[in-house]
Amino acid sequence: ELQDGIERQQAVVRNLNVAGEELILQSSPVDASVLKEKLGNLNFRWKEVCRQLAERKKRLEEEQNYLTELQYNLDKFILWLDEGSRVIGIPLEPGNEYQLKDALQKVKLRVEELPPHKGILKRLNEAGEKVLGSASLSPEVKHKLDTRLKEANHRWIKVSKDLPEKQKEIEHMLNNLKQFEHQLNQLKLWLSPIKEQLEIYNQVGQPGAFDIKEIEAAVKAKQPDVEGILSKGRHLYKEKPATQPVTRKLEDLNTDWRAVTHLIQILKGKPVSAVPGIVSSAVVALPDQTVTVVTQTLVTKETTISKQEMPSSLLLEVPALAEFNKAWADLTDWLSLLDRVIKSQIVTVGDLDEINDMIIKQKATIQDLEQKRPQLEELITAAQNLKNKTSNQEARTVITDRIEKIQNQWDEVQGHLQSRRQQLHEMLKDSTQWLESKQEAEQVLECAKAKIESWKEISYTVEGLKKQNAELKWHINVDVANDLALKLLRDYSTDDTRKVELVTNNINDAWATVNKRVGEREAALEAALKLLQQFYLDLEKFLAWLTEAETTANVLQDATYKERILEDAQGVQDLMKQWQ
């Protein structure tokens, strides 16, 4: 109201001064002196009122700006507290490694922001104390500000305590999950050869070929570990199913365990008897244990029936053929079973531990095959001796045919072993490269997410926009990881590739989200830049108008103070219209 009054009275004071100067010129020296003194007092008091009002206005504006800035910073701090509370409230999936890692990254980002925000809160409290001490603020404004400051301090105590605890909780879950998967892999690796061994025992035609007491004792000793890991798996994934690789491993362990316990019960019912056979041993070395598997392979009913029987007439004419035929059938059976085992041993592509374990098993299998080579050579020598001793052409043909078949079968099995071993080594190398590129892609994505989360509000200055636009120029490239993943999926399609598919899909989904956020940010910055450019155009137009108005005002000002202007009523009226 005072400001409006000053503006209204400004013209009155000016007119009084003009009229006073005219009267002084027309008055006697005594009257002129009195009038000049009164006019001087009036101008002095007028200037003092204007000065005090200007100071008061400036002080109020400063206090208002200070309050506005405080409220803005307080709003930002409370918004940060809201985001911190949201991160603290993220529900955790104890068995989902990817969800836990994503949540941990978000929590770590907020934990790192705790020290600077502690300083921000301190400055807010100091500024709030200063503003609350101002006499110009209304009680309502003071009460509202005081309430919000107390709320911010109270929430800060909770958030600054809960965030580090959330981080520890997630890290503990990840550590438990890592231990769980390690134990699961170890038990699966331990149980698999035992199951294969028992299945081979069970295929023998004659009952009671083997003593399984040692195996039964080993299985019984491991029972608490197996049942414990299966129980833990059910607990971890009772609400949400596990990822495909973990699900498959749990199902395989459960199935293998049931099969082993069932086979032990079956084999326990067979009395032990001595049956001629071929004995071989394989030692599988694990990170924390060594398992020795003794395998006795004999001719099974199924295989014997499937083999072409030796004509009885030949057996009567050449009795030595019966012994040769049995040795041939034994070795053929063993090679057939070995080939089936090789083809059934799949691994999880991208799992280095599992691939390495399978390489060790393959090495042991190759050693088994090499230990059988003398038996093959003895069979070939025996065949040659039989051919030399008999003149029966049919017998010679049968012997030649069977030796060719078993040599081809031997070469085929050996080729499968060598090929699989080479494939596993290549898979190990390719998986290592893929895991390294995956880790790099995940690190870049985590940095990108952190960068996006740290983006500030768009600045409406040329320098600010240039700086913020430069922040978008980092380049994220997941093509390497994708190319290596496609190679794994293509080259090792007969093995378990679900882990590679799952990880690749997660990375690509995260990459798509980052791209979307970057695109939105670019669009917002572009819009801000256009708005800023339009502002400068409008400012330029306004300044041009202001220059023109200033020139006109100067002309009118000169005309206003022109001598004897007050005597020209029409001139004064025209001048007032021009001012208006």
Which regions in the chain score pLDDT beneath 50? Answer: 205-209, 271-308
Cα(13)–Cα(8) distance, integer angstroms: 10
Cβ–Cβ < 8 Å for 374, 445: no
- Three-state DSSP state, 504: helix
Q: Please, what is the Cα angle at 123 between 117 and 124, to 5 degrees?
A: 85
Burial 361-399 (b: 16+ CB within 10 A, else e): bbbbbbebbeebeeebeebeebbeebbeebebeebbebb
C-alpha dihedral, 435 to 182 to 226 to 239, nearest 10°: -70
- How far apart are alpha carbons 500 and 245 in whole angstroms? 10
Main-chain dihedrals φ then ψ at residue 57, nearest 5 degrees: -65, -45
* 3-state SS assignment for residue 290: strand
pLDDT, position 322: 76
**pLDDT score at 296:** 37
pLDDT of residue 488: 87
User: How much is the pLDDT for 192?
Assistant: 82
Do residues 194 and 152 lie in contact, with contact meaning Cβ atoms separated by under 8 Å? Answer: no
What is the model's pLDDT at position 432?
93
> Amino acid letter at 379?
L
pLDDT at 164 (0 to 100)? 94
d(CA 458, CA 528): 7
What is the rounded distance in angstroms from the CA atom of residue 457 to the CA atom of residue 459? 6
Nearest-CA neighbor of 102 among 181, 180, 173?
Answer: 173
Cα separation, 578 vs 580, whole angstroms: 5
Q: Name residue 285's beta-bridge partners.
A: 290
The predicted structure's pLDDT at residue 32: 81
Which amino acid appears at position 179 of this protein?
Answer: Q
Query: pTM to 2 decimals?
Result: 0.45
pLDDT of residue 154: 94
Side chain identity at residue 1, one-letter code: E
Report the distance separating Cα 399 and Cα 405, nearest Å.
10
What domains, with CATH codes, occur in the chain? 288-513 (1.20.58.60)
Place of tokens 């005309």: 559
